[in-house]
Structure 1
Amino acid sequence: MNPHINENLSDSPSTLFVTDAKGNILISNEFTAVTVGMPLEELLKCNVQDLVKKGYYNRSITMEAIEKKEKVSRTINTNKGFSILSTATPLLQSDGKVKLVVTTSNTYKANLSKEESPSKVVEDSDQSIEESDTKLVAESLAMKQIIKVCNQITSYESKVLIYGESGTGKEMIAKYIYRKSHHKNGPFLSINCAAIPINFFEHELFGYEKGAFPGATETKKGMIEEAEGGVLFLDEISEMPLEVQAKLLHVIENNHVRRIGGIRNLTVNCRIISATNRDLWEMVTKGLFREDLYYRINVIPIHVPPLRTRKLDLVGLISHFVAELNEKYNKNIYLSAEEFQKLLLHDWPGNARELKNYIERLVVTEHYPVELKEEEALSDSYALNHFIKNNMARFKSLGDFMSVVEAHYIKQVIHSCHDNTSEAARKLGIHRSAIYRKLKKTKG
């Protein structure tokens, strides 16, 4: 076994297939293509049965899951020497028929020559990081790049600023940096600056001496002091009062802190990682955030894109949250194909946090609310007029509207062909890959 790969089994990339009920591949990723030595563009044109027939895989658990209509976990071997523990989960329609199958893996072993080894892929794109109760999913190119940057900076003490919308997983990325650094044996302390009352901010950060103020009956260490040897994560740092910002700047510049009421400086050694969902530079220009502190904490900026722009990550997160919450509540809930598709189409303005809360509600209540879908809205002329009226702002051109109508017609043809995409493509007179491209276009 390649020693580098063996060393990184726990942080290995994951393979991914989303197929239809016939085994046609709808979604995959770069690492899956690496395991069979095929360009991703070519892989997306394949059927998993063809991959087995041509010797790329020794078996197809995707097809096994379709036949059994239940989750299947097996170790499969690829033509490039990968041995992959995979799980295929079928998504069933209300009539019990299989609509989609999601096949994923988190671990693999490989017996490759030095020339074939994908060790750089492993090193640069750790895609699935297990934490105590969370999982960092990185199937999209954007998230792979974030993991690559994190791996490059873990051995340095440079200050990091993680910014992005609420719920995108900024704290998880901070924890990833922490777990990969030499600070991992120290504490990871997180402070939500938006949740601390202004009057107690200094007490929490810097601590105080006994008798420093009425009610201070004993000495208390501040969070900066408590984070000695580890990482202090300052979430929503934009909410920190200006006077506290000045004191924090002093700590960062001099590596020491003085408790309230104290007379001596205490040396501190912790890495500071900050996060915000606001435009800090805009706040600087308005005098709401200190410019000198901004430059101090923004040595290495990391932007986390919203979940609506990371559809591949969405697939992995849905599967993870369902499994995690089933285990937590001792349930055995599986999403229907209709529900899964609805989750993929939703924009998730609250990002991963909103997604997890929504799935938790589904698991706990065992209830799948159905909303009006585009194909239902286009079922008759009245509904068509209603749909157009309520989506005028969405359709920026005639082409946008025609894409939706075209996608609706394609879906009807596929349904009439009993979900056989190849047969539907022949009837439509287009290549099967064009069907997926046109349908994907309407999903945004």
Structure 2
Amino acid sequence: MSAVLLVEDDVSLATVITAALAQEGFSVTAVPGIAQRDAALNEGIFVVMLTDVKLADGDGIASLGPVAAAHPRLPIIILSAENTLDTAVRAAGAEAFEYFPKPFDLDALVSAVREAAARRAEGAGLGPAPAPALPLVGRSAPMQDVYRLIARAVQNDLSVLVLGESGTGKELVAEAIHQLGTRRAGPFVAVNAAAIPRDLIESELFGHEKGAFTGAVAQLAGKFEQADGGTFFLDEIGDMPAEAQTRLLRALQSGRIRRIGGREEIRVDTRIIAATNRDLAPLLANGAFREDLYYRLNVLPIALPPLRERLDDIPELAGHFLAQAAAEGLPSCELTAEALEALVVHQWPGNVRELRNVIFRLAALSRDALIDAAEVRSALGATRPQTPPAADLMAWVEQWLAIEKPTPGRWYQRASAAWERPLIAIALQQCNGNQLRAAALLGINRNTLRKRIADLAIEVHGG
């Protein structure tokens, strides 16, 4: 029977994990701290170790150095209630096989233990699982999924396709992969394909020789060549013209480029990370985007969630942008709880970029160090589409659908989720936080309201 060492001082959680692993045929030794962990490792042989971060007698990550040195083939799975990027980054250097922020899916944890034990038995490499760079802010479940995918991407040199709406932070993902990967000592070169004139894009990407065309007064190394030894980030790849797509595919297949007007092929060693805010399926169907290029780029896809699907991250993002604004010379400010709630109920069609712009505007225009809800609503008025009269509600819903673009079969679910949070927040506000009165106003049971407040992480003030 395969033995697993569990280091967890939460007795209830340790019991649940032990029972789940026992059902899979694992023998579990559960200990509450670092001293007992070290004693168990000295006495027995384990195929996997799971450890919490905050333990009564020390830090579960900081103390892993000697463990990794003494047991280099022991896969380590880290569990943490501190779902911060700092914790994820610390876990990256701790020889971790996997990182699970709490609360986690128990089936996923069991599956990870099973996979780690299998790789241990096969003698496969069990190097560290890197985590995303600090500029990526957020602790929500959707962002934890993104972090895991980035951690996988930095362990290899395969092409990555980052998918997401405008303003979700696709370039930050590319920078994180570059900074944490083996190419971090090389250059990071970014190009927005949509921002380059159609007749100049091949010259911009691949360079040109002097006299290759009118205006080519000197030799120019293209962005592809400039990224040699590093990472080449191609943003808005869906807007690339067909001719440039053909040359890009050839460069990816051969690892060589030729400047416009040049005869010599130049070997280029660069990792490609592409990104798009467009749905490539229709472009593939009508031939506007090459299918063979798509499959060459889409080896490791990473889908970034829109901000409206990670509203729990808004307080942390807002604090991050306020700190950025202060560092850039704007007044140092804070947001009231009501101001944060006003940010959370906004739908953010411009995603994280829109939130950053709003926060900077608030910091620049606020007359006080404490920003209130009225100032937030005023700042949002410049970007938020005006709500039509009740008689025109259908047009308003159509506008919401055009912005949201829910997939077929999920219209009702997505619309309900979008309207429920602000509706409950408004009811609580009108009832001064009195949940009994708010439940009556909404026409739902008080216990149902309490559950929805907890599920949607709505802050209640007053009452």
Query: Structure 1 length as normaliser, TM-score?
Result: 0.62
Q: What residue is the counterpart of 1:154 in the other structure?
A: 154
Q: Residue deviations 1:303-340, cap 9 Å, x none? A: 11111001222222111111111221241211122221
Corresponding letter in the other structure for 2:213:
F
SS at 2:191 equivalent: strand
Q: Which residue of 1 aligns with 2:375?
A: 369
Tell me the distance in 2 between the aligned counterparts of 1:291 and 1:180. 30
Q: 1:155/1:35 Cα in 2 relative to 1: closer, same or farther (>3 Å)? A: same
Further displaced range: 193-202 or 404-413 = 404-413
Question: Structure 1 residues 402, 166: CA separation in 2 closer, same or farther (over 3 Å shift)?
Answer: closer
Tell me how far apart the structure 2 counterparts of residues 149 and 356 of structure 1 sit (CA, whole Å): 25
Q: Is the 8 A contact 1:321 1:359 kept in 2?
A: yes
**Contiguous gaps of at least 5 residues in structure 2:** 1-7, 14-53, 62-81, 89-95, 102-127, 368-373, 379-387, 401-411, 439-444
The 1:120/1:369 distance shift into structure 2, 3 A limit, reads: closer
Distance 2:246 2:351 in 1: 33
Higher relative contact order (CA 8 A, sep 6+): 1
Q: Distance in 2 between matches of 1:328 and 1:83?
A: 36
1:281 deviation in Å? 2.1
Q: CA deviation at 1:369?
A: 2.9
Q: Secondary structure at the match of 1:233?
A: strand
Gap change, CA 1:353 and 1:370, over 3 Å in 2: closer
Contact 2:97 2:129 in 1 (8 A): no
The AA in structure 2 aligned to 1:146 is V
Residue 71 of structure 2 is matched in structure 1 by none
Q: Report deviation, 1:441.
A: 8.2
* Residues 130 and 154, structure 2, Cα contact 8 Å, conserved in 1: no
From 423, 434, 439, the equivalent of 2:451 is 434
Question: 1:62 — aligned with what?
Answer: none
Name the SS of the counterpart of 2:156 in structure 1.
Answer: coil
Residues 276-306 of structure 1, C-alpha deviation per residue, up to 9 Å, x if partnerless?
A: 0111121011121111111111111111111
SS of the residue aligned with 1:143? helix
In structure 2, C-alpha distance between the alignment counterparts of 1:268 and 1:349, rounded to whole Å: 39
Matched, 1:120 2:120: no
**Does the 8 Å CA contact 1:36/1:79 hold for their aligned counterparts?**
no
Per-residue CA deviation, residues 226-261 of structure 1 (Å, 9 max, x unaligned), is 100000000001111101111111101100011111
Counterparts in 2 of 1:298 and 1:37: CA distance versus 1, 3 Å: farther
Following superposition of structure 1 onto structure 2, how do residues 245-324 of structure 1 map, counting pairs within 5 Å?
A: 245-324=245-324
Alignment of 1:58-207 (within 5 A): 79=56, 81-82=58-59, 107=86, 120-121=99-100, 126=131, 129-130=133-134, 135-207=135-207
Q: Which amino acid aligns with 2:453?
A: Y
Aligned to 1:60: none
Contact 2:212/2:261 (8 A) holds in 1: yes
Whether 2:307 is the aligned partner of 1:328: answer no
Q: TM-score, normalised by structure 2?
A: 0.60
Q: CA deviation at 1:411?
A: 4.9
CA distance 1:107–1:273, shift in 2 (3 Å): closer
Matched residues, number: 321
Q: Distance in 1 between matches of 2:55 and 2:450?
A: 24
Distance 1:216 1:341, change over 3 A: same
Deviation at 1:220, TM superposition (A): 1.2
Q: Quick one: distance in 2 between partners of 1:442 and 1:187? A: 44
SS in structure 1 at match of 2:319: helix
Aligned to 2:70: none
Return the offset for 1:202: 1.3
Does structure 2 retain, via aligned residues, the 8 Å contact 1:170–1:275? yes
Tell me the secondary structure at the aligned position of residue 184 of structure 1: coil
Instruction: Give the whole-Å Cα distance in 1 for the aligned partners of 2:455 and 2:229.
Output: 53
Residue 430 of structure 1 deviates from its aligned partner by 4.4
d(CA) in 2 for partners of 1:180 and 1:163?
20
Indicate the RMSD between aligned Cα atoms, in angstroms.
Answer: 4.0
Q: 1:387 to 1:336 in 2, by over 3 A?
A: farther
Match for residue 359 of structure 1? 359
SS in 1 for 2:328: helix
Structure 1's unaligned 5+ residue stretches are: 1-33, 40-76, 85-102, 110-116, 373-385, 422-427
Shift of 1:215: 3.2
Partner of 2:184, secondary structure, is: helix
SS of equivalent to 1:246: helix
